[in-house]
Amino acid sequence: MTMDEPTIDGVTPDIRMRFSGWSRGAAITGIVGLVAAVAAALVFGKAALVQSYLFAYLFWLGISLGCLSAMLLHQLVAGGWGYMIQRVAEAATRVLPFLALAFAPILLAYRDLYPWADPNYLIAHPVVAEKTAYLNTSFFVLRAVIYFAIFIGLAAILNHWSRKLDLTGDAIYIVRLRRLGAIGLIFYVLAMTFASVDWGMSLEPEQFSSIYGAWFIVGQGLLAIAFCTIIVSRLYRSAPYVGGFGCTEDEQLCQMIPGCHGAPGCARPKYVEYFHHLGNLLLGFVVLWAYISFSQYLIIWSGNLPEEIPYYINRTHGGYQALTVVLILFHFVVPFAVLLIRRSKRSIPPLVTLCGFMLLMRAVDLFWIIIPAFRPGLLLGHLLIGACLLVGLGGIWMALFFRELTKRPLLPVGDERMRALQGHHDPAGTDTALPTEATEHA
């Protein structure tokens, strides 16, 4: 075995330096953002602050939870793309305890967010009064506790076994992680579905749509893939990647030969392959998002029922129609067209630019989902405070994320499936019976 011994500290000092620099910068940016948001709230009021906070919160929660679900899936399918981003995504899931704490402002100010918390509203809306068995304060809080227990619990087990695998290389942890992947995904999907009803759909308590949970889940997956691709693009030229998935020698040259299957003595730069896979995943999520968004729209539009249709009326009037067009064009049409092109997935700069763009579009989409619920008409105060909070909350999140990222080797060194991928040949070759005699003519 040519592999180095698995070590606890796999991050080289120069990367550690870089990360702590980024972490500090993010923390400072975050604090500036939060202060700016509070200052703006003095002008626009407390309600605007809380409502925008929900939007920014769901964005960053989406990255962590998207990374959680991507890693649960990865443990089931074990593709090369998953190993590229595994440590990045795992670090993002370890920020979940902070996000649980950051949920506190929403609990404290839920009356500014959720109309069902107001008894007068219930009297005026008998349909909503029918739902109080579900939409009531104590059950709302209890459910939030359950959701975070599930999310943090899954992340903790995932990270624990992944760590054990690093240290021991014992395949029993691969089997355990695989089981966790299957069962964890079920828990995640159910928890996230009901969480999206609680935190998003019940902002407009009359509205209901049974695809809503899947809409959020797909959005989170999209966020996670875009985010992880960006972070990995800053790392793939440094220590564990080069020699692992990277090319030992003339890296630049290899990258220019797309069909190269590895010349003698050359470890093919597999990361190009895996960036390509990440790009395909991104394409898949973009299409899935459009599929769900369009299906929901078409069904509600054609039904035109009084409980449902206000949702889309709010989002196609009062300035939001511009955002709607932006979403159709830039959350679907343009990325779809770009990602169909093979070159844009195999060359890292355009792919990373697109990923950054998709993060922005996810923010626009979440803004479009959350904010019109509060009052008709585009709210400039919310836009401003929302942007500040997105940066503010994001800064703190990133600071914690980079701190977590330095704690473990950047590639899961103990996983034999990854080592098989790093080798020249397909891992399937090792566990597939080889033909004994294959000399006959075709």
Partner 1 sequence: MATVTRRLDDISPKEPVIAPGQTYGSITDLVNDVVDQTERPPRFWLAVFGIGSLLLMLLLNAVGYLLIRGPGIWGINIPVAWGFAIINFVWWVGIGHAGTLISAILLLLRQEWRTSINRFAEAMTLFALMCAGMFPLLHVGRPWVVFFMFPIPSTTGMWPQFRSPLMWDVFAINSYMLVSAVFWYVGLLPDLATLRDRAWRRWNDAPPPERKLADRIRQIAYGMAAIGWRGSARHWHRYEMTYLLLAGLATPLVVSVHTIVSFDFAVSVLPGWHATVFPPYFVAGAIYCGFAMVLVLMIPIRKVYRLEGLVTMNHIENMAKVMLVAGLIVFYGYLMELFFAWYSGNTYERFMMQNRLTGPYWPAYWALILCNVLIPQLLWLKRVRTNLVVLFIVAIFVNIGMWLERYVIVVVSLHRDFLPTSWGAYHGTFWDWALYLGTFGLFLVNMALFLRFLPMINVFEMKHLLHSKMPQPAKGEESR
List the interface residues with partner 1, window 275-304 (CB under 8 A): 291-292, 295-296, 298-300, 302-304
Candidates 247-255, 257-265, 314-322, 376-384 — which segment interacts with partner 1 by CB under 8 A? 257-265
- In whole angstroms, how close is the CB of 90 to partner 1 at the nearest point? 20
Per CB under 8 A, 339 contacts partner 1:
no
Smaller CB distance to partner 1: residue 278 or 398? 278
Q: Measure the N-to-C terminal CA separation of the chain; round to a whole number of Å.
A: 37
- In whole angstroms, how close is the CB of 187 to partner 1 at the nearest point? 12
Chain length of the chain: 442
List the interface residues with partner 1, window 169-208 (CB under 8 A): 169-172, 174-175, 186, 189-190, 193, 197, 206, 208
Candidates 43-51, 328-336, 372-380, 430-438 — which segment interacts with partner 1 by CB under 8 A? 430-438
Per CB under 8 A, 146 contacts partner 1:
no
- Alpha carbon 52 to its chain centroid, in Å, reads 20
Q: Number of residues in contact with partner 1, rule: CB under 8 A?
A: 61
Smaller CB distance to partner 1: residue 104 or 441? 441
- Alpha carbon 292 to its chain centroid, in Å, reads 17
Per CB under 8 A, 2 contacts partner 1:
no
Per CB under 8 A, 5 contacts partner 1:
no
List the interface residues with partner 1, window 397-416 (CB under 8 A): 416
Smaller CB distance to partner 1: residue 39 or 336? 336
Per CB under 8 A, 119 contacts partner 1:
no
Candidates 40-48, 81-89, 394-402, 425-433 — which segment interacts with partner 1 by CB under 8 A? 425-433
Smaller CB distance to partner 1: residue 251 or 307? 307
Per CB under 8 A, 214 contacts partner 1:
yes
User: Can you tell me the distance from the alpha carbon of 263 to that of 257, in angstroms, rounded to the nearest whole number?
Assistant: 11
List the interface residues with partner 1, window 149-168 (CB under 8 A): 168
Cα-trace Rg, the chain: 23
Q: Which two tokens stand for residue 221?
A: 């997956």
Nearest to 393 by CA among 35, 15, 71: 35
- In whole angstroms, how close is the CB of 193 to partner 1 at the nearest point? 7
- In whole angstroms, how close is the CB of 60 to partner 1 at the nearest point? 26
- In whole angstroms, how close is the CB of 186 to partner 1 at the nearest point? 7
- In whole angstroms, how close is the CB of 317 to partner 1 at the nearest point? 21
Interacting residue ranges for partner 1, rule: CB under 8 A: 127-128, 130-131, 134, 168-172, 174-175, 186, 189-190, 193, 197, 206, 208-214, 261, 263-265, 291-292, 295-296, 298-300, 302-305, 307, 416-417, 424-426, 428-442
